[in-house]
Amino acid sequence: MIAVNKIALNTMINIHKICQHFSLGEPKGSLVKIASGLTNEVFLLATTEGKFVIKRIDLGSVRARPKREYQYTENLAAKLHSLGIPTVVALAVNQNFILAENHHLILAYPFISGEVLYGPIGPVSEEHAKESGALLGLIHQLNIRYSPESTSFGYSYVIPIQQWHEYIDTAKQQKLSWYIELESKLETFLHWNRIHREADQRLAKNLIYSHGDYFPHNIMWHDNQPILMDWELAGRINAGLEFVLALILFSGFATENQFDRQVVKFFLEGYYATGACLRDDLDDAIWGAIGKAWLNWMAFQAKRSLDKKLSKEERQAASQTVITFYYNLESLLARIPLMKSLLNT
């Protein structure tokens, strides 16, 4: 949670209320925005007690989870921290991590010195690949099958085929650019979704609690040691899916020309050294990863391209994302035999 592209905040967030609720001391200035995502904004706050990171989650966002699940995800992060996993843990008041305010949730974290060194699709350095593989392996070896809460929680990344047909039919009527560009390829695309759905049904029989968003940009580095942050997508997930997706992302395999075979070697070395291993069918794990990171995201963008509440520019950007991700996935699938050969050596 490092300050990048700092932007002075002009918002109605009640800083004094946050400080009082979480016992942060007195504020020494305004909040400073340091990051933002689809569902949240992240700020740096200096007080008389030190520095803190404040996250505000918009419950009205289309990608937001139910309010109670943010309590669950932070509780899971705290549990893993207590078991030796280096994580950023939110501050709690009477075991409650959340401050609710005007359709938003507020979370407060201690400021940790470190740096996010990579974007979401790598590649990372060989040294960091080994550390990242080991960290994921340690989480998987904990084999947490039951939630710290009484209720299970997690995401389904499967998009029903009927829903895709609705998007396609509407895009055809509106003559959207992604439909025009991909019309001849849509049967192939729907076939990919069917393969993912079938793989997901098998993967769903073997779920653990884990981070759920194990991307290079969600790891902060301090003295060359990883600290895992941003647990918003945490919950039940298939370990094989998470492992294969991490391997694709950390090695740069998702890029056109930055793939580093040595990073694969070091990531696997770190992961296997913990005793962790792939316990599911490799093809199922690959398609689970594709569904989570590509097909699901394309569905989200297709839906945005049809949303008349958005600006023309936002809808056009969503259409272009669908096109870009299709060709990226097509290229990725052509290289999957190489990834499988590296995993089998």
Please name each of the domains of the chain with its CATH number. 15-111 (3.30.200.20), 126-344 (3.90.1200.10)
Tell me, letter by letter, the H, E, C secondary structure of 173-234: HHCCHHHHHHHHHHHHHHHHHHHHHHHHHHHCCCCEEECCCCCHHHEEEECCEEEECCCCCC
Which of 42, 40, 39, 38 is closest to 6 using CA atoms?
42
Query: Is the separation of the CB atoms in 141 and 134 below 8 Å?
Result: no
| Interval 9-27 mean pLDDT | 85
In the chain, pLDDT over 90 holds for what percent of residues?
88
Q: Are 329 and 290 in contact (CB under 8 A)?
A: yes
Give the mean model confidence (pLDDT) for residues 104-110: 97
pLDDT reported for residue 254: 92
Distance of CA 342 to the CA centre of its chain: 25
- The residues, any chain, with a CB within 8 Å of residue 145's CB and separated by 6 or more, are 207, 208, 209
Q: Hey, which bits of the chain come out as E strands?
A: 7-8, 32-36, 40-47, 50-58, 99-101, 104-110, 208-210, 219-222, 225-228, 235-237
Q: Rounded CA gap, 31 and 33, in Å?
A: 7
pLDDT, position 276: 98
Q: Is the dihedral of CA 56, 62, 64, 68 positive or negative?
A: positive
Mean pLDDT of 167-193: 98
Helices (H), strands (E): how many in the chain?
Answer: 11, 10
State percent of the chain over pLDDT 70: 96
3 pLDDT above the threshold of 70 = no
Q: 211-257: per-residue pLDDT in tens?
A: 999 999 999 999 999 999 999 999 999 999 999 999 999 999 998 88
Q: What is the pLDDT of residues 122-149, one digit of tens each?
A: 999 999 999 999 999 999 999 999 876 6
pLDDT digits (tens, 9 = 90+) for 72-94: 999 999 999 999 999 999 999 99
Q: What is the mean pLDDT of the chain?
A: 93
Going from the C-alpha of 55 to that of each of 95, 125, 248, 303, the distances in angstroms are: 18, 29, 29, 27
Looking at the predicted structure, is the pLDDT value of residue 37 above 90? no
Q: Can you give the pTM of this predicted structure? A: 0.93
Residue 301, CB-side half-sphere exposure with 13 Å CA sphere: 21
- The pLDDT tens digits for 307-345 are 999 999 999 999 999 999 999 999 999 999 999 999 887
Q: What would you report as the CA-atom Rg of the chain, rounded to the nearest whole angstrom?
A: 21
Cβ burial, residue 100 (10 Å; 0-12/13-18/19+): exposed
Lowest-confidence pick of 136-145, 251-260, 266-275, 283-292: 251-260
